[in-house]
Amino acid sequence: MITPGNNTENSHREWTYPAIGGNPGNTPATTPGSFANPANIGGPLTYSSPDTPGMPAPSTKTAWDFLPQGWETQLITDGKVGEVVEGNTRTVTFEQNDGMLRSMTFPADFKPITQLESARLGIITEQMTRVAEREGHLTPIQVRDEIGAGRMVIPANVKHLQYKLDPMAIGRASKTKINANMGASPVSSGTEEEVEKLKWAERWGADTVMDLSTGGDLDACRQAIIENSTTPIGTVPIYSMIIGKKIEDLDETTILETIEHQANQGVDYFTVHAGLLQAHLPFAKNRLIGLVSRGGSLLAKWMITHKKENPTNTCWEKICDILRSYDVTFSIGDGCRPGGLADATDDLQLLELAEIGRLTERAWRKGVQVMVEGPGHVPFDQIEYNMKLQRTLCHGAPFYVLGPLVTDIFPGYDHITSCIGATSAAYHGASMLCYVTPKEHLGLPKKDDVKQGCIAYKIAAHAADVALGIPGSRDRDDELTKARAALNWEKHFELSFDPDVARAYHDEDLDVDTDFCAMCGHDWCSVRISKEINEFFSGKDESYAWEKATKSGALTEEQVEILKQRGHLSPEEIHKLASKTKQGVGADQAKAACHSDYVEDDEQAKVIQQAKLVQVNVSR
């Protein structure tokens, strides 16, 4: 990696770089590295973007400032690690990752249940160790300290841990995570299909899954998803609370019993829309689309009918007690999220966010882990402000955002409009991105919609991690670049996120692995030309070198299906293309007839290409 600056070695430069943060890759490279802030694990910035002028500063408080009544903590510079019991109190002293000693005094008979409570006592749990293994760039101590500060959560219900759950973390010190939504509706899908979609979402990179079922056998569907998932499962309990009844009939008993039941099933995190208050409702009247959150609109109707405060807010501490007993994480819902660009960052949205900050403090005092949900539909220029205001008001609690969509006029393509916003959101502070599928606003997603949503959001999450300079996040990109430079197609496909699609698109035009591709052809291949220039070293990594062109087995059935669904070629054209390309370039030989190492000169290769390769009309 080059060193920014204007020393003798860099005297040729007519420019200077901004401050350099971390290096996301371990491969020597000419890129200067990340332009994000330097890593600050243990501090409020962790991995973060530089602030645009006018952005809110990080909160000076963390979960350490919101302990249960009677608990005390302090940082000390002189002392030793250990435990002391005096009467009814116990004091533990442990070393933090930054080398400071922290003491915690609490009731002597207290037994930790949640990951947050364990972190407060200096305990590194089995789940924290597993998270560090999965992250790669974090140590178990760092994971513990981030959880103790409230900047990271491990959604792992003690019941779900008895099944197949593989613990993971959500927080800005960790890699960006993505969530996939699914669930049966009264008019579509069922338990078996939802379990199949669960497996499909996990296959395509979903880090958590939310079951948003509103129809069918909700209990059976939820239980099946929990028992079959390796990822944390979230729900919105209010959906189950009103099945077969009116929202006006909702009461505190139903709320608590439903939450207890789902927690006992093994749900790892709950969306609870407790931040919407009676006082907020008048601010909705001038919105273009009002309240688009199902939970938010239902509770708004309840408050208007009963002329009382949001019942999930008034019984918050009782809900906390249930969540603590199973170590269920709060995902505090944004019932006032904007449903269109015209409603973004308005008073209603931000009044609710301020109340969510207070709910976060109340949950931390009860020992419950918290993450916060966010918008929605937000113009690109407002995304950074939204992320950093949440960081301030909610004291760094992980932010879990839907999109956001940066434009409203592309129904059918909202997985694209939203992943653009999601990339920016993650770079500026969001910890988890809730995927949007092509069916958003139009219908319930099917299997391929789930895949498209997951891939769009894996792109967003990965791009943000590289930009933030998270160590190792660029390593796979660098390996694929080396394979591409060496024109090693097999390694190229192997390293790609979706090898089947990459291979199918390649073989659509040229089903032999030559030292060029059909995009440029032999004469115009910049990578091939570069390798012929002695002083240019691109593509010289010996581990990716290959001796001769190899022949693909034409198109597999799965690749044919990929291209058929893509709609560019008919099945007949695909088969015609594969067979004629194979014959035209002599793929039965050790190398294709147009390979630059096989023909006598470049002119001969050009002639073979022009004369024998089939040109398929794709302009229909």
- Return the higher-pLDDT residue of 37 and 79: 37
Q: Above 50 in pLDDT, residue 3?
A: no
pLDDT digits (tens, 9 = 90+) for 547-556: 555 555 556 6
Residues 359, 483: one domain? Answer: no
- Whether residue 515 has pLDDT greater than 90: no
**Residue 534: its pLDDT value, please?**
47
Residue 54 lies in a domain: no
In Å, how far are 498, 510, 559, 592 from 553, measured between CA atoms?
Answer: 18, 11, 11, 13
Residue 442 and residue 393 share a domain: yes
374, β-bridge pairs? 401
User: Which pLDDT value is given to residue 189?
Assistant: 64
486-490 CB contacts, 8 Å cutoff, 24+ apart: 486/539, 486/541, 486/544, 486/545, 486/546, 487/514, 487/515, 487/516, 487/527, 487/528, 487/539, 487/546, 488/544, 488/545, 488/546, 489/513, 489/550, 490/550
- Which band of pLDDT confidence, cut at 50, 70 and 90, is reported for residue 539? low
Cβ-Cβ contacts under 8 Å for 340 (sequence gap 6 or more): 288, 289, 377, 408
Q: Let me know whether 76 and 187 are in one domain.
A: no
pLDDT value, residue 612: 42
- If one compares 605 and 56, the residue with the highest pLDDT of the two is 56
Q: Is residue 251 situated within a structural domain?
A: yes
CB atoms within 10 A of CB 278: 15
Q: What is the pLDDT of residue 582?
A: 47
Report the C-alpha gap between 301 and 287 in whole angstroms. Answer: 17
State what percent of residues in the chain have pLDDT above 70.
Answer: 81
382 in the same domain as 511: no
Q: What is the pTM of this model?
A: 0.86
User: 281 and 342 share a domain?
Assistant: yes
CA distance linking residue 345 with residue 356, whole number of Å: 15
Within a 10 A sphere around the Cβ of 367, how many other Cβ atoms? 24
Q: Does the pLDDT value for residue 584 go beyond 70?
A: no
Give the gyration radius of the chain's Cα atoms: 27
Residue 500 lies in a domain: yes
Measure the CA angle with vertex 152, ends 470 and 333; round to 5°. 115
Angle at 397 between CA 392 and CA 398, to 5 degrees: 115
On the 0-12 / 13-18 / 19+ scale of CB atoms within 10 A, 346 is: middle
Residue-wise pLDDT tens digits, 182-239: 887 776 667 888 899 999 999 999 999 999 988 888 999 999 999 999 999 999 999 9
The verdict on 436 and 562 lying in the same domain is no
* Residue finishing a domain among 419, 444, 467: 467
Whether the per-residue pLDDT at 533 is higher than 80: the answer is no
- What's the pLDDT at 555? 62
The structural domain count of the chain equals 3
DSSP 554: S
Conformation bin of residue 354: beta by default, left when phi > 0, alpha when psi is -120 to 50: alpha
Quick one: pLDDT at residue 597?
43
Query: Is residue 518 predicted with pLDDT exceeding 90?
Result: no
Give the separation between CA 565 and CA 282, rounded to whole angstroms. 48
Tell me the C-alpha distance between 116 and 127, whole Å.
12
User: What pLDDT score was predicted for residue 193?
Assistant: 85
The reported pLDDT for the residue numbered 10 is 77
The reply to whether 139 and 157 lie within a common domain is: no
Please check whether residues 241 and 374 belong to one and the same domain: yes
Looking at residue 56, what is its pLDDT? Answer: 98
Q: Residue 514: its pLDDT value, please?
A: 64
Domain assignment present for residue 229? The answer is no
Looking at every residue in the chain, the average pLDDT score rounds to 88
* Residue 192: per-residue pLDDT: 85
Binned at pLDDT 50, 70 and 90, residue 526 comes out as: confident
Q: Domain of 436?
A: 153-165+178-219+234-467
Expressed in angstroms, the distance from the first to the final Cα of the chain is 47
Q: Kindly state whether residue 502 falls inside one of the protein's structural domains.
A: yes
The helix (run of H) or strand (run of E) holding residue 224 is helix 218-228
Query: Could you tell me if 256 and 287 lie in one domain?
Result: yes
Q: What is the pLDDT of residues 132-186, one digit of tens each?
A: 999 999 999 999 999 999 999 999 999 999 999 999 999 999 999 999 998 877 7
Cα–Cα distances in Å, from 270 out to 106, 283, 444, 534? Answer: 28, 26, 21, 60
In a domain, 438, yes or no: yes
Same domain, 486 and 424: no
Please tell me whether residues 341 and 438 are part of one structural domain: yes
- The CATH number of residue 435's host domain is 3.20.20.540
Considering only 198-207, 472-481, 610-619, which range has the smallest mean pLDDT? 610-619
- 14 inside domain: no
Say if 23 falls within a structural domain.
no
CB 368 within 8 A of CB 331: no
- For the record, the structure tokens of 121 come out as 């006592």
Q: Are residues 375 and 494 in the same domain?
A: no
Whole-number pLDDT of residue 617: 41
Question: Of 22, 4, 17, 5, which Cα lies nearest the Cα of 474?
Answer: 22
SS (H, E, C) 433-449: EECCCCCCCCCCCCHHH
Look at residue 125 and tell me whether its pLDDT is greater than 50: yes
Give the separation between CA 596 and CA 521, rounded to whole angstroms: 11
Instruction: Go through 532-555 and write b for each residue having 16 or more CB atoms within 10 A of its CB, e for each that does not.
Output: eeeeeeebebeebeeeebbbbebb
